[in-house]
């Protein structure tokens, strides 16, 4: 899968808009496009110098609070090797998951 730097709109067979996956260097603003247009369940990778923060759209209120920080990592704090093992520290955001 290739992550796009702009939202991609895809519909599933039932006609529902699928969540978007994209990245960029613009801070999340839930009241501005494309963030306010993103379907619930969308994910955004916010790239800053040396840091990546992943956000998940959990609500549809067209507010920045709709976007929950899932993960933040700093490039200097971790290393991912060819066999996908990770060394260092990954700092989790405010995400609280539930099962089933």
DSSP letter at 66?
Answer: G
Does residue 100 belong to any structural domain of this protein? no
Does residue 15 belong to any structural domain of this protein? no
Does residue 9 belong to any structural domain of this protein? no
Does residue 11 belong to any structural domain of this protein? no
- The confidence score (pLDDT) of residue 97 equals 45
Does residue 13 belong to any structural domain of this protein? no
Q: Is 76 helix (H, G, I), strand (E, B) or coil?
A: helix
Quick check: pTM over 0.85? no
Does residue 37 belong to any structural domain of this protein? yes
Asked whether 24 and 49 are in contact (CB, 8 A), the reply is no
Domain span at 69? 21-92
Does residue 80 belong to any structural domain of this protein? yes
User: What's the rounded Cα separation, in Å, for the pair 78 and 84?
Assistant: 12
Backbone φ, ψ for residue 7 (5° rounding): -60, 145
Interval 43-100: pLDDT, tens:
999 998 888 889 999 999 999 999 999 877 765 555 555 565 555 555 554 444 444 4
> Total structural domains in the chain?
1
User: What's the rounded Cα separation, in Å, for the pair 25 and 5?
Assistant: 9
Interval 5-45: pLDDT, tens:
777 766 666 767 788 999 999 999 999 999 999 999 999 99
- The confidence score (pLDDT) of residue 86 equals 54
| Strand boundaries in 12-66, DSSP class E | 21-24, 43-48, 51-57
Does residue 68 belong to any structural domain of this protein? yes
Asked whether 76 and 99 are in contact (CB, 8 A), the reply is no
Asked whether 70 and 63 are in contact (CB, 8 A), the reply is no
């Amino acid at each position: 899968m290739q992550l796009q730097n702009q939202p991609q709109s895809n519909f599933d067979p039932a006609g529902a808009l699928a969540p978007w996956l994209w990245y960029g260097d613009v801070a999340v603003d839930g009241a501005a496009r494309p963030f306010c247009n993103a379907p619930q369940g969308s994910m955004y990778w916010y790239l800053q110098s040396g840091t990546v923060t992943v956000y998940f759209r959990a609500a549809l209120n067209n507010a920045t609070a709709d976007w929950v920080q899932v993960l933040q990592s700093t490039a200097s704090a971790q290393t991912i090797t060819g066999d996908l093992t990770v060394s260092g520290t990954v700092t989790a955001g405010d995400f609280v998951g539930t099962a089933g």
